[in-house]
Structure 1
Amino acid sequence: MERARLSVVMIAKNEAELIADCLRSADWADEIIVLDSGSTDDTVAIAERHGAKVFTHTQWEGFGKQRQQAQRYASGDYIFMIDADERITPPLRQAIESVLENPQPHRVYSCARRNLFLTRFMRHSGWYPDRVIRLYANAGYHYNDNLVHESLDYRDATVCRLDGDLLHLTCRDFFVFQRKQLGYAEEWSRQRFQAGKRCGLFSATAHGLGAFLKTWVLRAGFLDGKPGLLLAFVNAQYTFNKYAALWALARQQKAKHHDDESHLSGHL
């Protein structure tokens, strides 16, 4: 059986600091596709220097649809979806190569991520093995439409585990990480609000507390030491922000509706 061709696919914006190492870890692929969403730094130039095929799509409709658009440019039989802050380790490359040598129908493949939090690759706290589905047949599968926390729509395919880890430089800078978390919380809350979901402020607080206990106790975050404790607080904060934002959107809508009614009654 002929070896399947691999397209490593990435969406990116202003990733000049990270993208070079990511591309070097994937330079053995048959092609690398980078879909840029409007970088103002050297992201595009760096990607081109490393042999990537670079395209631009600035009409942002969320992470899911952006990944769908990026995949449309790929010509490989298989897709490996990656982010600029991730690196393919040699054992993971070997596992991917094995799949390409013997492709199987109706299968998608997950890999374990080793997530960096400040100075440590976490081993607990729900951050490892953190399996994510990244390798799949180009013709059969694509990402869903989620604005954030998008995932592969693999339907009834069998999920197989790849050996080797994907390194993820999740949090190298605490403030940058917090700003990203706040952005994710905003997109999550807007998506849920548009779907008709609502939340009380007490529920938001309970969700935040639950996230702390899940990270620190159930997921053994205490074994990750001080970084584990900090991460438990960060997860609690992020979870609270998501649900509090959902609560706030409903309050804003109610207030606007009340103002509109008052304005209308004033003209009667």
Structure 2
Amino acid sequence: MTILIPTCERVTSLLTAYEEGALGPFDRLGVKLHLAFCPPCQAFLDTFDRAPALLRQAWQAWDGEPAPGAEQALSGALAALRDGRAPAGPQHHPEPEMWSALAPGGDPLLALLLRLHLGRCASCREAHGEHEAIPITGDALDALRPHLPPENQWRWIRRGLGGGRVAIVHEDAATGATLNLACLPGGKSSPVHDHLGLECALVLSGALQDGPAHLRAGDWMAHASGHLHGPTADDGCECWALVALERPVKFLGWRGALGLFL
């Protein structure tokens, strides 16, 4: 009998039932196996235990009946969640130390990602200045192309990526770092892979689930060496991302057995 370990997207959709003991034996085993190898999903599960206590503490801080404004704010937030309304603008921002890439002599690959994030994020423009931002008023790929090498110099990789495709648009001959343009079809998952160095990525269009994080256009993600993941694009549309890799990524499973790297 073969047990298939579920994806991060599948696991996050099952966690409530897992906590309540409502899963069947095979789903429960699959979730337990996934959690054993995925620290981000385990951390997400840990918040299930903390959230109710934190909410109770906050609610009781008013010593009696909560203020009408608090009730209205909570009702509005719950209504927005029910209606599927997401807050405007990126919700995942670069780590503080990343912004040094914009300084003279900084990493040019990271600087490009940061400038694109600034083009989407008003709060980061207020904190770090507007002069570096790449404005994005329409198609993000159209805004990006003037800042990339000519397309005839891109090297596309399509095989072995589960329906996705990646263009290596620039490679630093001295360090081996690469800048990559990745596209994942709606509903498809990237093959699970390990990082041999820092990965920083910016979602250009569409949306994806990466462990417990749901990322939309303008959102930033970063993973250190040794991090395993396989993001899944939302159903209904392609997800494009610009990815800066310090070192190659190594695929797991049969792809790893064949020695496939990116």
Select the structure that is richer in helix: 1
With structure 1 as the length reference, what TM-score do the two structures score? 0.26
